[in-house]
């Protein structure tokens, strides 16, 4: 028992950290009627965007749509604070279409802080959690820096990069979280004391520079979409494009300066111990790993409407400050650049995600959950998704309800969690569309149809949201039915349109559905020939077009999903002794004992487990498992 500790209060769920993971965890926990408190090092850092001031992007957008469909907040916040909106990958298929918005950084944090403050059943507390209390391998509360003890039935660790955080700029290294907010060092040591397997990761952020020092005439303008769309189907307004972003690139002179100063990079002289993100490397990494590449793109993005700070996306570094000035000023448009916030690298502590259950509860300490970068991920959207799941399952545990486990085949959220807890990570995990085998059925445009019913069942989707979802679903069903029976007549005008896009002429009238099944035909191209005048709204028409155009592929993938579900339904006990199963290789038994998969399906995805091992496991399960399976 710690000395001079005063018990202040008691909660069902305590969330440690109020970044993107902590926000979603705290909000959904409180919505599910669990008394909840969220602790933050600084109320001014709630929902902070310490790296790029944007939400969404390839696959990340899918997570935002999925969270929104289940009643989360990140999509609504992005819409409310958007200053530019673009959908990426429009030249590719709909599976990889991904919305990305540039947000007003300060307005976003203000929005999220207020969302926490307004949530009933949720207390927001500025204090540092320095340790947890555990009795009989079960978490019972938290200790704070101010000498307080708060009892809790469940605790969610959502500490982002603040846990054991250390900043590096050249040879200078010091304990800190992003934006000079103090790091949380004592909690990291306390978690290790309780047997939580930890590891050290690293990430970085580019410099923020003054707008007046940039020559935009030397850069390519990156404008927003002509017709922006919101993230949340609860947003009653269309985001407006209020700013432009810009593109420039490094050159050989930039790369020469970097190569000449690698001996001053803490990353290359061994000062930094943490493992950095594979898919978001520093500019030093890019130059070293891709020596033949003549240039690397750089995206210049505004941080908000009421600030002159611009973010240099794509050029993170931990090089010394003098080298930063020298290399940035070789980039076209940045010859006279003024650094406002120099680039830096940050190391931090996170757990081994294979020590977590698919519910995100620790296998080591009952009632302790992980969320966000504590689970080994990188990115706001990944953090928010994990926070939502941890918040749901912590609240349900308190209420003696079964944990919600999201299927890999049903969401990117499920894909990410399965990757983390089954395969583990060797570097900060980033979601990508290529991580899913089922990406054609896991599109951002159908996230509400995939996830809203789940949210309703959980209790995180209120009546207003559910009624709107039902209205939208009926509109889509009606539009699909209409397109099946509505004919477009053959005419000179429509044949001119078809010939202009390389399609065969119409000799007889045909349905809108048949026309849309042609590869090059879009509804936008034939809308004026629709005898009903294209009465439906544009978003519904787009969704209907995707369902029609890719119907065959979607059916095929859904069959694959159903086939895989057979293996997911073959449940494994959490207390199985794999070393006693005859015929199972020693390596497989060791790997399965560490992960403790919930099903044959999950077991098949464990690294080091072969198809032969799965065959042995399946035969054993048929002999000794639940006969109902």
pLDDT tens-digit series, residues 300-315: 999 999 999 999 999 9
User: Is 629 part of any domain?
Assistant: no
* Residue 310 or residue 51, greater confidence: 310
Residues 468 and 424 in one domain: no
Confidence of residue 600 (pLDDT cuts 50, 70, 90): confident
- Each residue of 155-195: pLDDT tens digit? 999 999 999 999 999 999 999 999 999 999 999 999 999 99
| Cβ proximity of 38 and 127 under 8 Å | no
What pLDDT score does 588 carry?
86
User: Is 560 part of any domain?
Assistant: no
Alpha-carbon distances, residue 377 vs 81, 115, 156, 387, 547 (angstroms): 25, 24, 16, 12, 32
- Each residue of 386-438: pLDDT tens digit? 999 999 999 999 999 999 999 999 999 999 999 999 999 999 999 999 999 99
Tokens at 310, concatenated: 């611009």
Spatial distance between the Cα atoms of 113 and 132, rounded to a whole number of angstroms: 25
Residues 48 and 109 in one domain: yes
Rounded to an integer, the average pLDDT of 531-537 is 75
Spatial distance between the Cα atoms of 520 and 216, rounded to a whole number of angstroms: 37
CATH number at residue 588: 1.10.150.570
Helices and strands, number each (H, E), in the chain: 20, 22
Alpha-carbon distances, residue 325 vs 287, 335, 337 (angstroms): 17, 9, 8
CATH number at residue 377: 3.50.50.60
Residues 47 and 177 in one domain: yes
Residues 445 and 517 in one domain: no
What pLDDT score does 538 carry?
82
| Cβ proximity of 581 and 620 under 8 Å | yes
| Cβ proximity of 581 and 616 under 8 Å | yes
Element (H or E) spanning 40, and its range?
strand 36-40
Chain Cα centroid distance, residue 377: 8
Residue 629 has pLDDT above 60, yes or no: no
Determine the 3-state secondary structure of 169 from DSSP: strand
Range of the domain at 275: 208-347
Spatial distance between the Cα atoms of 82 and 76, rounded to a whole number of angstroms: 10
**For residue 183, how many C-alpha atoms fall within 13 Å in the half-sphere facing its CB?**
20
User: Is 564 part of any domain?
Assistant: no
Range name among 37-51, 240-254, 305-319, 602-616 with the lowest pLDDT average: 602-616
User: Is 563 part of any domain?
Assistant: no
DSSP 555: H
Tokens at 557, concatenated: 């993938």
Burial readout 592-623 (b: 16 or more C-beta within 10 A, e: otherwise): beebbbbbbbbbbbbeebeeebbebbbebbee
User: Is 33 part of any domain?
Assistant: yes
Spatial distance between the Cα atoms of 43 and 459, rounded to a whole number of angstroms: 28
Rounded to an integer, the average pLDDT of 338-344 is 97
Residues 58 and 146 in one domain: yes
Question: Among 318, 347, 376, which residue terminates a domain?
Answer: 347
Question: Among 401, 435, 458, which residue terminates a domain?
Answer: 458
Residues 378 and 334 in one domain: no
- Each residue of 231-256: pLDDT tens digit? 999 988 889 999 999 999 999 999 99
Closest to 388 (Cα-Cα) out of 74, 171, 95: 74
Spatial distance between the Cα atoms of 11 and 370, rounded to a whole number of angstroms: 18
| Cβ proximity of 296 and 249 under 8 Å | yes
Q: By percentage, how much of the chain surpasses pLDDT 90?
A: 80
Residues 399 and 524 in one domain: no
Confidence of residue 533 (pLDDT cuts 50, 70, 90): confident
CATH number at residue 277: 2.40.30.260
Tokens at 559, concatenated: 């069959």
DSSP 301: E
Confidence of residue 201 (pLDDT cuts 50, 70, 90): very high
Residue 535 has pLDDT above 80, yes or no: no
* pTM for this predicted structure: 0.93
| Cβ proximity of 343 and 315 under 8 Å | yes
Residues 387 and 292 in one domain: no
Residues 474 and 524 in one domain: yes
User: Is 405 part of any domain?
Assistant: yes
Domain count, the chain: 4
Alpha-carbon distances, residue 419 vs 122, 375, 403, 525 (angstroms): 31, 11, 18, 41
Size of the chain in residues: 629
What pLDDT score does 311 carry?
97
Q: By percentage, how much of the chain surpasses pLDDT 70?
A: 98
| Cβ proximity of 414 and 561 under 8 Å | no
Spatial distance between the Cα atoms of 363 and 558, rounded to a whole number of angstroms: 33
What pLDDT score does 272 carry?
81
- Each residue of 431-488: pLDDT tens digit? 999 999 999 999 999 999 999 999 999 999 999 999 999 999 999 999 999 999 999 9
Question: Among 425, 458, 491, which residue terminates a domain?
Answer: 458
Tokens at 406, concatenated: 């999201």
Q: CA 580, 581, 586, 590 torsion: positive or negative? A: negative
Rounded to an integer, the average pLDDT of 250-278 is 89
Alpha-carbon distances, residue 529 vs 495, 509, 533 (angstroms): 11, 11, 7
β-strands 129-135, 339-341 pairing: unpaired
Q: For the chain, report the end-to-end CA distance as a whole number of angstroms.
A: 47
Residues 354 and 343 in one domain: no
What pLDDT score does 570 carry?
85
Spatial distance between the Cα atoms of 235 and 150, rounded to a whole number of angstroms: 37
Could you tell me which residues come within 8 angstroms of residue 375 by beta carbon, excluding any fewer than 6 positions away?
Answer: 350, 351, 353, 356, 360, 386, 420
* Residue 572 or residue 414, greater confidence: 414
Spatial distance between the Cα atoms of 392 and 384, rounded to a whole number of angstroms: 12
Spatial distance between the Cα atoms of 460 and 266, rounded to a whole number of angstroms: 45
Token pair 């309780």 is found at 194
CATH number at residue 477: 1.10.10.1800
Confidence of residue 604 (pLDDT cuts 50, 70, 90): confident
Residues 294 and 402 in one domain: no
User: Is 1 part of any domain?
Assistant: no
């Amino acid at each position: 028992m710690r000395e001079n500790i005063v018990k202040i209060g008691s909660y069902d769920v305590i969330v440690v950290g109020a970044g993107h993971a902590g926000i979603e965890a705290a909000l959904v926990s409180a919505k599910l009627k669990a008394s909840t408190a969220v602790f933050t090092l600084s109320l001014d850092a709630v929902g902070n965007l310490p790296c790029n001031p944007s939400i969404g992007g390839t696959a990340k957008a899918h997570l935002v749509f999925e969270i929104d469909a289940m009643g989360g907040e990140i999509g609504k916040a992005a819409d409310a604070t958007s200053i530019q909106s673009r959908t990426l990958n429009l030249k590719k298929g709909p599976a990889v279409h991904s919305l990305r918005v540039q947000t007003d950084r300060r307005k976003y944090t203000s929005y999220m802080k207020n969302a926490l403050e307004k949530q009933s059943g949720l207390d927001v507390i500025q204090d540092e959690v320095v340790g947890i209390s555990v009795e009989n391998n079960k978490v019972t509360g938290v200790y704070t820096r101010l000498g307080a003890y708060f009892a809790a039935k469940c605790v969610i660790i959502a500490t982002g990069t603040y846990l054991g955080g250390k900043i590096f700029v050249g040879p200078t290294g010091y304990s800190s979280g992003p934006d000079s907010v103090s790091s949380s060092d004592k909690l990291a040591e306390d978690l290790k004391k309780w047997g939580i397997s930890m590891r050290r990761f690293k990430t970085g952020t580019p410099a923020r520079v003054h707008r007046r020092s940039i020559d935009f005439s030397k850069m390519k303008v990156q404008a927003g979409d002509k017709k922006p769309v919101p993230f949340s189907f609860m947003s009653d307004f269309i985001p407006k494009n209020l700013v432009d972003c810009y593109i420039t690139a490094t050159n050989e002179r930039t790369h020469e300066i970097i190569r000449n100063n690698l001996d001053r990079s803490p990353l290359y002289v061994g000062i930094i111990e943490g493992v950095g993100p594979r898919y978001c490397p520093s500019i030093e990494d890019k130059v070293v790993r891709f020596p033949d590449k003549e240039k690397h793109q750089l995206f210049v993005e505004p941080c908000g409407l009421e600030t002159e700070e611009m973010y240099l996306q794509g050029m993170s570094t931990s090089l010394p400050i003098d080298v930063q000035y020298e290399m940035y000023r070789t980039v076209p448009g940045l010859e006279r650049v003024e650094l406002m916030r120099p680039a830096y690298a940050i190391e931090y502590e996170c757990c081994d995600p294979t020590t977590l259950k698919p519910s995100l509860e620790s296998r080591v300490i009952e009632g302790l959950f992980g969320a966000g970068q504590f689970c080994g991920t990188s990115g706001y959207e990944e953090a928010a998704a994990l926070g939502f799941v941890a918040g749901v399952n912590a609240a349900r545990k308190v209420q003696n309800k079964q944990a919600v486990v999201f299927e890999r085949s049903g969401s990117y959220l499920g894909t990410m969690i399965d990757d983390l807890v089954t395969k583990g990570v060797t570097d900060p995990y980033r979601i990508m569309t290529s991580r899913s085998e089922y990406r054609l059925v896991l599109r951002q445009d159908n996230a509400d149809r995939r996830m809203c019913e789940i949210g309703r069942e959980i209790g995180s989707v209120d009546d207003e949201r559910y009624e709107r979802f039902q209205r939208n679903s009926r509109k889509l069903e009606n539009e699909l039915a209409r397109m099946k029976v509505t004919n477009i007549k053959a005419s000179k005008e429509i044949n001119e349109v078809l010939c202009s896009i390389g399609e065969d002429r119409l000799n007889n009238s045909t349905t809108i559905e048949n026309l849309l099944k042609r590869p090059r035909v879009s509804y936008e191209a034939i809308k004026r020939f629709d005898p009903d005048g294209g009465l439906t709204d544009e978003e519904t028409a787009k969704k209907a077009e995707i369902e029609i155009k890719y119907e065959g592929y979607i059916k095929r993938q859904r069959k694959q999903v159903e086939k895989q579900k057979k293996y997911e339904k073959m449940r494994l006990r959490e207390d199985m002794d794999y070393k006693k199963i005859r015929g199972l290789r020693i390596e497989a038994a060791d790997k399965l004992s560490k992960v403790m998969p919930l099903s044959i399906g999950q077991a098949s995805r464990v690294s080091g487990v072969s198809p032969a091992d799965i065959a042995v496991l399946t035969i054993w399960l048929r002999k000794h498992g639940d006969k109902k399976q």
